[in-house]
Structure 1
Amino acid sequence: MTQDTSQTHTTSRLPAAGAQFAQSLNVLTWFHSHPHGTFMQASSQLGLSVPQIKHELQQLSYCGLPGYLPGSLVEINVNKTTASVEFTAGLDRPLTLTSMEAGVLLFNLEALRNTVDPSYHDAIDDVVSTLRSLLRDSRKYQVRREDRGLVASDSSTHNDRPLTQAEQEHDEQGALLASMRAAVTQRRLICADYHSLNSDSVTRRTWIPDRIALINGEPYLWGREDEREQRIYAIDRMRNITFGAQDSAPAPQHPVIKEEDPFNFEATSEWVTLELHKNLAWMLEYYPMWLIEEQPENDYLAVTMPNTGAWLERFCVAYSESIQVIEPLDLAKRVRERAKLGLQAYSI
């Protein structure tokens, strides 16, 4: 009984909060639009009692912009029969997104589309189409303002406060993802210096871009090199990125991204079995490995993971004190040989 009551209360609280917020905004907007309006007039038009309207105005006086300091809060002068709104903190009009925020939201919506039920695709496509239209209009408006000398061509904020390093990195990543996404749409080849974890080397590569998506918050490119098999590449391991001319890439091959297995590990034919010391249990959250069984009698966990070749050898050597290869025996041999080569560099 207690659980059912709690669930009902939690479920009904969210829409009630939304209705309360909308009601408060209606009161604020009404008085902002009617500088000489009285409480009785507002009550008649809004369908609220006078005490309720006064309560809404009082609550609004505690709202405002982050910082919540004088000058950033909603300012309302309440008299006996009327009220006047001196400062709305922007709550009297729809909230707006910067181009960067809209671009990041667009990117996340496109990634979300790959994970939700197909019945939601039309709704997401409508929002994506609207955002793209707003971004195009925003760019045209920005250009017109620059041409008229109303804003500097490199201005991206509404104030002159210097950006922090975190904000700069966020903006740079957002701009990069927007460019990568545009390359997919406009069919441009993508070139970059790519650090391969498998070979631990950096090479210049050219991809035919098929898809940009987020996995656990990290951006990845689904692409092909010279029409070869489609693979997944981590964008944060790319440097010196350039883009080809429009239509320089052939038609895309749209990947099927499974929410439960986005890297398609189930298609892997070669797997290995390792024993991990329990002090490395955190790896289960960060590496593509799965627990087979926990052995209570000792301090080791039996896990399995895809056989990724040279990378896996280096991985086992790096954590050799806490990892033991169970199978295949060929991997254990390769790890042993790699360890010997490393020791030879320190032989006297």
Structure 2
Amino acid sequence: MSAPRTPSADRLGRLLNLVPYLLARPGILIAEAAADLAVTPKQLREDLELLWVCGLPGYGPGDLIDMAFDGDRVTISHDAGIDKPLRLNPDEALALVVALRMLAETPGIGSRDAIERALAKIESAAGDLADAPVAVKLPADQEKLAKVRAAVDSGHALRLTYYTPARDETTERVVDPMRMLTVGTFAYLEAWCRRAEATRMFRIDRIDAFLELPEPSRPPVEAVPHDVSGGVFRPGPELPLVTLRVGRTGRWITEYYPVEQVLKEPGEWHVTMRVTDLGWAQRFLVGLGRDVTVVGPPELVEQIRATAHAALDQYAAPQALAADPPAGG
């Protein structure tokens, strides 16, 4: 059985440490090095094979890392300068400063103290570059983010005016904030919704208004945070299942939205996907035009047919008015 694959980030960190480690231990047994690095000998050999094609730009003789094998022992014969301390050029240092400043302002980010310590070290090393007139602006209402974050930190309940696009409606509700977090490019408030009697995720840019209440936030014991490792939308069997026939120009939806099944046939794909609400599906699919045909469920087919007829009637009305002769003609 092959060894389990490690995440890319873990492997990168291991590769960066591998050359200095081997330089300090020429002729070390591969099995011994693997044990020190907490990997299998097979994985370590794969890492060494990858190191052979790593090095400096130019990638010719003398630019790449080289090593020598003697049976089950390995020795680094050329390190390509990877043992030298990292030196950032001005552009790289400024990019790191801007990225860390943005990260420090992102809601829901943990270990903010560690971010600020790292930022302080890089700003100190960057010198005058750290004071460059670069504005860091996140794609969201910063004042709203700051106020919602302050309410969460203060432990107060909130009254929200919230827009739900799936139902195309605006509602008012009282929530008990639990945390703020960022998923993808959007900031969310996760809270216990007293109206729904369940934990809900509220996208910050869809909060039309909010009021901090004097009462404390008291989520009940059943208020469990969502697992957002796979995204905010987690389709389940309880949601409506929609079946579509999709032409060439509509295939992008299979990459942008979670789908359960894609059957690829010449000329069209048959796609099934879960949706939170049939009303949202109706508005979404009507906007895709004739390249997507709804197969089911029957109630969605009927809703789209009615919407299409209503739209055609709107186009027909001006034509009827134009056929009438102008007054006084």
> What does residue 133 of structure 2 align with?
161
Distance in 2 (alpha carbons) for counterparts of 1:160 and 1:14: 31
Distance in 1 (alpha carbons) for counterparts of 2:203 and 2:283: 19
Structure 2 counterpart of 1:226, one-letter code? R
More strand by share: 2
Distance in 2 (alpha carbons) for counterparts of 1:274 and 1:294: 12
Structure 2 counterpart of 1:301, one-letter code? H
Distance in 2 (alpha carbons) for counterparts of 1:293 and 1:263: 23
More helix by share: 1
CA-CA distance at 1:172 after TM superposition: 5.4
CA-CA distance at 1:290 after TM superposition: 3.3
- Contact 2:160–2:174 at 8 Å: present in 1 too? yes
1:287 equivalent to 2:257? Answer yes
CA-CA distance at 1:298 after TM superposition: 2.3
- Contact 2:152–2:177 at 8 Å: present in 1 too? yes
Structure 2 counterpart of 1:66, one-letter code? P
Three-state SS of the structure 2 residue aligned to 1:259 is coil
Structure 2 counterpart of 1:215, one-letter code? V
> What does residue 342 of structure 1 align with?
311
CA-CA distance at 1:197 after TM superposition: 0.9
Distance in 2 (alpha carbons) for counterparts of 1:179 and 1:262: 23
1:321 counterpart (284, 290, 313): 290
> What does residue 16 of structure 2 align with?
14
1:308 counterpart (277, 283, 308): 277
- Contact 1:275–1:326 at 8 Å: present in 2 too? yes
2:216 counterpart (213, 225, 248): 248
Residues 162 and 182 of structure 1, relative CA distance in 2, 3 Å threshold: same
Residues 284 and 229 of structure 1, relative CA distance in 2, 3 Å threshold: farther
* Structure 2: runs of 5+ lacking an equivalent: 1-7, 22-80, 121-128, 318-329
Q: Normalization by structure 2: what TM-score?
A: 0.55
1:66 counterpart (90, 98, 117): 90
* Structure 1: runs of 5+ lacking an equivalent: 1-6, 20-54, 73-88, 90-94, 110-126, 139-156
2:154 counterpart (186, 192, 195): 186
Taking the TM superposition and a 5 Å limit, the aligned residue runs for 1:1-348 are 13-16=15-18, 63=87, 66-67=90-91, 101-104=103-106, 107-109=108-110, 127=111, 131=114, 159=131, 161=133, 163=135, 167-169=136-138, 173=142, 176-177=144-145, 179-230=147-198, 231-245=200-214, 247-251=215-219, 253-257=223-227, 259-260=229-230, 262-295=232-265, 297-306=266-275, 308-348=277-317
Residues 208 and 66 of structure 1, relative CA distance in 2, 3 Å threshold: same
Structure 2 counterpart of 1:107, one-letter code? G
- Contact 2:180–2:189 at 8 Å: present in 1 too? yes
Distance in 2 (alpha carbons) for counterparts of 1:190 and 1:241: 7
Residues 292 and 100 of structure 1, relative CA distance in 2, 3 Å threshold: closer
- Contact 2:163–2:170 at 8 Å: present in 1 too? yes
Distance in 2 (alpha carbons) for counterparts of 1:11 and 1:210: 34
Q: Normalization by structure 1: what TM-score?
A: 0.53
1:22-44 deviations in Å (ceiling 9; x for gaps): xxxxxxxxxxxxxxxxxxxxxxx
Distance in 1 (alpha carbons) for counterparts of 2:242 and 2:115: 45
Distance in 1 (alpha carbons) for counterparts of 2:180 and 2:174: 15
CA-CA distance at 1:15 after TM superposition: 0.9
